[in-house]
Amino acid sequence: MTGSLRVAAAQIAPVWLNRDLTLARVIEQIDRAAVAGVELLAFGECLVPGYPFWIDRTDGARFDSALQKDLFAHYVDQAVCVERGDLDEVCSAARRNAMTVVLGLLERPAERGESVYASAVSIAADGSIAACQRKLMPTYEERLVWAAGDGHGLRTHAVGAFTVGALNCWENWMPLARASLQGQGEDLHIAIWPGSDRLTRDITRFMALEGRSFVLSAGGLMRRDDWPQDLPHAERLLQVTDDMPWANGGSCIAAPDGRWLVEPVIDQEGLFMADLDPREVRRARQNFDPSGHYSRPDVLRLQVNRRRQSSVEIED
């Protein structure tokens, strides 16, 4: 169990609600991180094409609102369809740089109509997709635009000497979601967030202590200059920008004993890196191993349904 792993959070902003331009930013960050020797790179929640910040600023719950319909239609149009090949260039960049990438995106599956999901997509170093976790329960106003996901992506995969899993934002508050990954050997947890040190500061260290794992929290940025000029209802959106920035980052990395390796970084764009030693996990689990010697599977067991949701089953 030797060999450290260099990991990083890419704390950047999207070109808000523009899929292709934001994907170009992602690829640029992958290539930059490779120069710095990064082997695993994580981005914020729904970075591509951006978090739906307009909802709670434009009366998003108003039924049959023309404004909300227009913004939703644009949002869905800019979502990522994996089956269509929207991620092919990102996968190529991961393969070209032999880098694992965890990317938060708005996913529009080909077989689910116009419903979209906040998904954490894990791309392996060979360019294949290792997992795609659709957020189990969108939080509060997010439910006005995101559909509820499933457990298909609750899976781990090997990256060097580590076993890696990923969750979206408030999924990280769900004890059973965390336990589902810990029970599959996770010792490096990736938590992706829209961007706030208020979200990441306490729970990142807690998850590290609970799992006796390394935890990387990746958050995004959102500033007025990250808006394209041709958004639907741009004038209306301009009226609700007084409290910009809407996302301040908060990316951080904690060790299995709860120490900060990178404290939460706010209002700063960049790659925030750490070198992880797998031996620290073994040291921390000497006295507490949450899915090993300190678990009681004879008393407490978790059942996980990893079937992908579908509205139709066809038998020919």
Q: Which residues are catalytic?
A: 45, 135, 169
Give residue 90's Cα distance to chain centre.
15
**227: its two tokens:** 């808006």
Contact criterion met (CB below 8 Å) for 41 and 190: no
Contact criterion met (CB below 8 Å) for 68 and 2: no
Please name the amino acid found at residue 105: L
What are the phi and psi torsion angles at 24 (to 5°)?
A: -65, -40
Q: How far apart are CA 7 and CA 42, in angstroms?
A: 8
What are the phi and psi torsion angles at 307 (to 5°)?
A: -70, 140
Residue 276 forms beta bridges with which residues? 5
In which element (H, E) is residue 117 found?
A: strand 117-123
How many other C-beta atoms lie within 10 A of the C-beta of residue 28?
13
